[in-house]
Every structure is written in C-alpha cells, then in structure tokens.
Amino acid sequence: MERTYIMTKPDAYDRGLIGQIITRIENKGFKIVDMKMMNLDEDILKEHYAHLADKPFFPEIVEYMMSAPVIGMVVEGSGVVDSMRKIMGPTDGLEANPGTIRGDFANNKSQNLIHGSDSIENAEIEIKRFFG
Ligand code: CDP
Ligand code: MG
C-alpha cells in the first residue's frame, strides 16, 4: 500500500491546529499507521531540507522547525502521496485555495503548518529518516 510522510510543523503546535490537521487526513479516509512527537535537531533538518541548503532563507527554516515540537506521521492509502499534497495546498498559504490546510490556515510561504512528501520515492526516504 502507498505511504507518505506527513509532519505538522511548529506553528501547528503553537496555534493548536494539530487536531484539525489530523481530522482532515482521517476524513479523507487515509490511515495513520504510525505517529510521534519530536523535537528536531539541526542535523536531521539539514538532511530533510538539503534541496534548499543554498537558499538565503535556509537558516530561518531550520530555526523555525526547531522552535517547537513537530508530529511525524506515516499515512497510508491508495494515491496518498499526491492526494495529501492537494489536501495541504501549495507552499505559499496566500496562493493556496480555501479548503486546503494551507489555504485555510496559513498566510505566508514559510510558516505553512504541514510537510508532505512530494513523491513516492521521497516518501520512503523520509519515513526511513524519521521512523528508522
Ligand atoms: O513544503 P513544500 O514541499 O510545499 O515546499 P518546499 O519547496 O519543499 O520547501 C520546504 C519548506 O521550506 C516550505 O514548506 C517552507 O516552510 C520553507 N520555504 C520558505 O520558508 N520559503 C520559501 N521561499 C520556500 C520554502
Ligand atoms: Mg517539499
């Protein structure tokens, strides 16, 4: 069965939106098969966001992602990788349509509440990274 790695970000924790995010995943009929709260360190974030390492905002992402706990989840279902990206909405909350998590709750492109794997291949890499 297809799986993806979903992670609520520190702003979801700070704003008390974790329950609403989880509810949207469950409402869609996807199964949360593993879940844990973590405080991420710089090493794992440099690995996870390696594709952004040369961007000027990279230090801010690392700082933000370490500012409060995250909830990592393995979510399972047919077509779950692409479907979760649709449920999340695009990176920038201002561009995201209402009805998406980012469209309903985020208003910028850095503090955008949720991470979701962007391909089946990356999903397996990220599940291994965060769940071993
Ligand atoms: O999270 P998503 O896959 O939609 O976007 P990404 O391009 O993989 O970027 C990862 C994360 O870096 C974003 O979700 C933002 O939190 C952050 N980011 C940012 O702060 N400013 C940008 N211009 C782009 C991304
Ligand atoms: Mg990404």
- All domains of the chain in start order, with CATH: 3-131 (3.30.70.141)
Average pLDDT of the residues in 105-131? 98
Task: Summarize pLDDT for 42-60 with one digit per residue, the tens.
Answer: 999 999 999 999 999 999 9
Share of the chain above pLDDT 70, in %: 100
Task: Identify the pLDDT of residue 101.
Answer: 98
Average pLDDT, the chain: 98
* Cα end-to-end span (Å), the chain: 19
Task: Identify the pLDDT of residue 38.
Answer: 98
C-alpha 99/C-alpha 87 separation (Å) is 8
Nearest CA to ligand 1 atom 19: 110
Average pLDDT of the residues in 8-16? 98
Share of the chain above pLDDT 90, in %: 100
* Residue 80 confidence class, pLDDT cut points 50, 70, 90: very high
C-alpha 32/C-alpha 116 separation (Å) is 13
| Active-site option among 61, 115, 116, 126 | 115
pTM, to two decimals: 0.97
Q: Which atom of ligand 1 is nearest to the CA of 118?
A: 3
Shortest-distance ligand to the CA of residue 55: 1
* Residue 26 confidence class, pLDDT cut points 50, 70, 90: very high
C-alpha 79/C-alpha 76 separation (Å) is 9
Task: Identify the pLDDT of residue 36.
Answer: 98
